């Protein structure tokens, strides 16, 4: 998700709140009300949890490097900016239009990146997702396992029918990662992403609920709402 829905200039203040996560065991449908608190998604090496104000420092360190930030909208420029971003993610989750997970490596609880899901159609029938992980963890398997957890949450809990992603044509690693997890390249979005005063072409990727069901061996007709 290169065009980030968050805009720091619209968020002058920080609101913190306590969060209570519910654990989702691998293969088990999460049925809690995610609008109140995101469930904890656990894998063998990776866990995804709700962002906390205390994650601002590690996310600032991980996501503002040139390697990570060059193909996404500019991340917050300060730790305080990340604190405002985290508070904003909670408000958008309360409204039921946006989800943002912190990526952590077991057994550490330090946030090394994020996965995002944004509603494009009312009720999350169509959604956009994106990700950013610290470059020192590229190639570690953190993305692949984290992506699997996010896809399960999107299709089984949010009830997504169509999940889209956009990546700059210059972002070879990002496009390769999407292809690796089974996303389908649908087309080119010409000059659709503005970064540092320059417009970039983007590749449009999608994963349908039917695609995901076949991948995990579930009946194609299965639908969760």
Residue 85 in any domain: the answer is yes
Task: Output the pLDDT for position 14.
Answer: 37
Tally of domains within the chain: 1
Mean of pLDDT values over 165-177: 95
Q: Name the residue range of residue 41's domain.
A: 8-158
107 within some domain:
yes
Q: What is the per-residue pLDDT for 73?
A: 86
**Average pLDDT of 132-142?**
95
15 located within any domain: yes
Q: What are 85-97's pLDDT values in tens digits? A: 999 999 999 999 9
Residue 199 lies in a domain: no
- Kindly report, residue by residue over 53-111, the tens digit of the pLDDT: 999 999 999 999 999 999 888 899 999 999 999 999 999 999 999 999 999 999 999 99
**126 found inside a domain:** yes
Give kind and range of the element (H or E) at residue 145: helix 142-152
Q: Averaged over 161-188, what is the pLDDT?
A: 96
Identify whether 166 is part of a domain.
no
Q: State the CATH number of the domain containing residue 101.
A: 3.40.630.30
2 occurs within a structural domain = no
Is 60 exceeded by the pLDDT of residue 25?
Answer: no
147 located within any domain: yes
Over range 129-158, report the average pLDDT. Answer: 96
């Amino acid at each position: 998700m290169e065009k980030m829905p968050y805009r720091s200039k619209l968020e002058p203040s920080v609101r913190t709140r306590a969060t209570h996560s519910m654990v989702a065991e691998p293969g088990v449908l999460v049925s809690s009300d995610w609008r109140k608190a995101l469930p904890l998604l656990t894998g063998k090496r990776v866990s995804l949890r709700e962002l906390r104000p205390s994650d601002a420092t590690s996310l600032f360190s991980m996501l503002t490097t040139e390697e990570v930030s060059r193909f996404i909208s500019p991340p917050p420029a300060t730790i305080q900016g990340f604190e405002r971003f985290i508070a904003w993610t909670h408000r958008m989750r309360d409204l039921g239009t946006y989800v943002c997970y912190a990526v952590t490596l077991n057994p550490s609880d330090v946030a090394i990146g994020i996965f995002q899901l944004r509603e494009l159609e009312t009720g999350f029938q169509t959604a956009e997702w994106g990700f950013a992980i610290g470059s020192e963890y590229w190639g570690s398997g953190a993305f692949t396992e984290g992506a699997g957890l996010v896809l399960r949450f999107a299709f089984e809990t949010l009830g997504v029918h169509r999940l889209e992603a956009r990546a700059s044509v210059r972002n070879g690693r990002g496009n390769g990662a999407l292809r690796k997890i089974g996303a389908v390249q649908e087309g080119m979005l010409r000059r659709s992403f503005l970064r540092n005063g320059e417009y970039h072409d983007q590749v449009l990727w999608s994963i349908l609920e039917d695609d995901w069901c076949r991948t995990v061996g579930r009946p194609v007709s299965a639908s969760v709402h």
